Amino acid sequence: MFPAWVFFIMLAALTDLVRGLGVNWGQMSSHPLPPTNVVKMLKVNGIMKVKLFDADPKTMKALAGSGLDVMVGIPNEKLDKLSHDYELAQKWVKENVTEYLYKGGVSISSVAVGNEPFLSSYNGSYVKTLFPSVKNIQRALDEAGVGGKIKCVVPFNADVYESPSNKPSDGRFRKNIMKEMMEILHFLRAKKAPFVVNIYPFLSLYQSSGFPQEFAFFDNGSPIRDKGAQYSNVFDANYDTLLWALKKVGFANLDIVIGEVGWPTDGNGYCNNRLAKKFYDGLLKKLASKEGTPLRKGYLEVYLFGLFDEDQKSIAPGDFERHWGIFRYDGKPKFPMDLAGQKSGHQMLKGVEGVKYLERQWCVLNSDVRNLSNAQVELNYACSMADCTSLGKQRSCDLELHDRISYAFNEFYQNRDQDVRACDFSGMGTKVTQDPSTGDCIFPVQVALSAGERRHGLSYALSVFAPLFFIMSFFTLL
Ligand SMILES: *[C@@H]1O[C@H](CO)[C@@H](O)[C@H](O)[C@H]1NC(C)=O
Ligand SMILES: *[C@@H]1O[C@H](CO)[C@@H](O)[C@H](O)[C@H]1NC(C)=O
Ligand SMILES: *[C@@H]1O[C@H](CO)[C@@H](O)[C@H](O)[C@H]1NC(C)=O
């Protein structure tokens, strides 16, 4: 037996490992969980840092008094106005920062101005307006007397830099944003603020054919050598590519924070619980070891992406977009995860408590229906209105046509909070109380919305008559 004090020292050390870990809390969900329950769950897990994409009042109120360190966010769409309207910047800071700084309020540590604003696929839309917006927000923070404590940062996608040879030492910032990037870098250094970057090994694997799969994980795949350093995973290589890019323009010592890192679990052949678990196990172990990367040893500050699956995210980048959660839509962990990064499982991720569900019932295709071609029309409609990104080859729901139609019916029915009218489908839908889930394919039961969030009947009535507006691009996948 250990004496009790040994146990306490061990416990303190473990909590310390988790302490640095942050999570992204996105809100693009049709049925968000009650924010107070979510905040409780974060504290139970010892996760004391969250990054938001806006400053939603309900979320902010739930965070008040929690002691969590909060990064609030300004969406890209606001940058145009903020860049030339200082009064709006003042108003934003007043409504979304100083409003919450009362005693027992929210511990806001930083404001993220924009979200990946220099992403190549935005075609430069925010390149000119970002820095003027940063300056306006900083000035408003300074004027409110909190500019010393609350820092402006910009979460960039890792595509702001590149390496033509794929070697970290050839890293450099993209030419078409160089001027604006230099302005930001000078600003960050002057304010002692970190460079925030989102690094996605999954996207490296997904986007480049021939990318060696093992290099996306942390199991010492065949290493590449670069100027005396050895890289056995793309996370380290990517991070050090940034360090080289910074060094070349005179900012070698800037702090770096990983604003997003994670692995999705559905919607693509590389996305499942097994590979996500493998990725997180490797990542969390690495973070706990404080080994850093070949070029920068030590502790890495990281925000995982993300908390929950979000069924309203755009799937333009791919169907996996709605499956980044370490929790399912209902706050249950998808797979065991040891936040302390120890093999023996010291700090296992716990789910959200007190989640209320609708009744245990599902909507499926009536088994009497023989001619499935009419039912398929209904499937297309259901999937255009609800989330069918788990359906398809190499996904969690790789089903025969009849079950595929049932899955789509149920998604629509649950999305509409089990409204009886949402299980009609020209008389082909039927309600069942026996769970139709099979294997990995879960037919969900919706969570109950809290009173303030119940939707109105109108949008439903409109959509019932809208089966003409299919989103056809979906079905090539099914
Ligand atoms: C403050 O943030 C909220 C939530 O993101 C947003 O709806 C509101 O418009 C913001 N205030 C201003 C003045 O932009
Ligand atoms: C960027 O340009 C491409 C190609 O011209 C276009 O397809 C895409 O819609 C544009 N995206 C934005 C956000 O403007
Ligand atoms: C199934 O229904 C479609 C559309 O109503 C019809 O064109 C087709 O002939 C039917 N198939 C059979 C086998 O009855």
Distance 157 CA to ligand 2 centre (A): 17
Amino acid residing at 416: R
For a pocket test of ligand 1, which of 28, 52, 54, 91 has the largest count of ligand atoms closer than 8 A to its C-beta? 54
**Per the confidence metrics, is the pTM higher than 0.85?**
yes
The atom number, within ligand 1, closest to the CA of 72 reads 5
Cα distances from 29 to residues 287, 329, 335, in angstroms, run 29, 8, 21
- Closest ligand 1 atom, CA of 57? 4
pLDDT of residue 338: 94
Q: Which residue type occupies 107? A: S
**Distance in Å, CA 476 to ligand 1 centroid:** 39
- Give the ligand whose atoms come closest to the C-alpha of residue 374: 3
Predicted local confidence at residue 462, as pLDDT: 38
Residue boundaries of the structural domains of the chain: 4-353, 362-446
Task: Answer whether 94 contacts ligand 1 (Cβ < 6 A).
Answer: no
Nearest CA to ligand 3 atom 14: 371
Does the CB atom of residue 77 touch ligand 1 within 6 A?
A: no
Residue closest via CA to ligand 3's atom 12 equals 371
Residue type at position 74: I
CA of 412 to the centre of ligand 3 (A): 24
Name the residue of 63, 92, 115 to mutate for ligand 1: max ligand atoms within 8 A of Cβ.
92
Task: Tell me, yes or no, if 260 is annotated catalytic.
Answer: yes
Instruction: Identify the nearest ligand to the CA of 124 by its number.
Output: 2
Those residues whose C-beta lies under 8 Å from the C-beta of residue 411, and which sit 6 or more positions away, are 382, 383, 386, 387, 388, 444
Show the CA angle centred on residue 103, arms to residues 102 and 106, nearest 5°: 65
Beta-carbon-side half-sphere exposure of residue 386 (alpha carbons within 13 Å):
28
The pair of three-digit structure tokens given for residue 390, joined into one six-digit string: 């788990």
Dihedral sign from CA coordinates of 125, 131, 134, 140 = negative
Q: Could you give the CA distance from residue 151 to residue 126 in angstroms, rounded to a whole number?
A: 20
Of 453, 315, 463, nearest to 388 (Cα)? 315
Name the residue at shortest CA distance from atom 13 of ligand 3: 371
Give the residues across from 70 on adjacent strands: 50, 108
Residue 400 is among the residues annotated as catalytic for this protein: no
Tell me if 314 CB under 6 Å of ligand 2: no
- pLDDT tens across the length of the chain (478 residues): 444 444 444 444 444 545 589 999 999 999 999 999 999 999 999 999 999 999 999 999 999 999 999 999 999 999 999 999 999 999 999 999 999 999 999 999 999 999 999 999 999 999 999 999 999 999 999 999 999 999 999 999 999 999 999 999 999 999 999 999 999 999 999 999 999 999 999 999 999 888 999 999 998 777 899 999 999 999 999 999 999 999 999 999 999 999 999 999 999 999 999 999 999 999 999 999 999 999 999 999 999 999 999 999 999 999 999 999 999 999 999 999 999 997 666 789 999 999 999 999 999 999 999 999 999 999 999 999 999 999 999 999 999 999 999 999 999 999 999 999 999 999 999 999 999 999 999 999 999 987 666 554 434 433 433 333 333 333 333 3
Contact 204, 217 (CB under 8 A): no
pLDDT at residue 219, as a whole number: 85
pLDDT of residue 457: 40
264, burial (CB in 10 Å: exposed 0-12, middle 13-18, buried 19+): buried
Reduce the secondary structure of the chain to three states and give it as a string.
CCCHHHHHHHHHHHHHHHHCCEEEECCCCCCCCCHHHHHHHHHHCCCCEEEECCCCHHHHHHHCCCCCEEEEEECHHHHHHHHHCHHHHHHHHHHHCHHHCCCCCCEEEEEEECCCCCCHHHCCCCCCCHHHHHHHHHHHHHHCCCCCCCEEECEEEHHHEECCCCCHHHCEECHHHHHHHHHHHHHHHHHCCCEEEECCHHHHHHHCCCCCHHHHCCCCCCCEEECCEEECCHHHHHHHHHHHHHHHCCCCCCCEEEEEECCCCCCCCCCCHHHHHHHHHHHHHHHHHCCCCCCCCCCCEEEECCCECCCCCCCCCCHHHHHCCCECCCCCECCCCECCCCCCCCCECCCCCCCCECCCCEEEECCCCCCHHHHHHHHHHHHHHCCCCCECCCCCECCCHHHHHHHHHHHHHHHCCCCHHHHCCCCCEEEECCCCCECCECCCCCECCCHHHCCCHHHHHHHHCCCCCCCHHHHHHC
Q: Which of 180, 260, 321, 378 is catalytic?
A: 260
Residue 384: burial class (beta carbons within 10 Å; 0-12, 13-18, 19+):
buried
**Cα 138 to Cα 79, 110, 144, 379, distances in angstroms:** 14, 10, 10, 50
CATH of domain 4-353: 3.20.20.80
Asked whether the beta carbons of 217 and 231 are under 8 A apart, the reply is: no
Q: What is the pLDDT of residue 19?
A: 58
Residues 351/355/360/366 CA torsion (nearest 10 deg): -80
Catalytic-role residue among 77, 87, 99, 116: 116
The type of residue at 18 is V
Residue position matching structure tokens 């994409």:
53
Distance CA 89, CA 140 (A): 6
pLDDT, residue 445, reads 98
Distance CA 284, CA 219 (A): 13
Tell me which ligand sits closest to the C-alpha of residue 428: 3
The two three-digit tokens of residue 320, written as one number: 């996996």
Q: CA of 477: how far to CAs of 13, 108, 209, in Å?
A: 48, 43, 19
CB 141 within 8 A of CB 97: yes
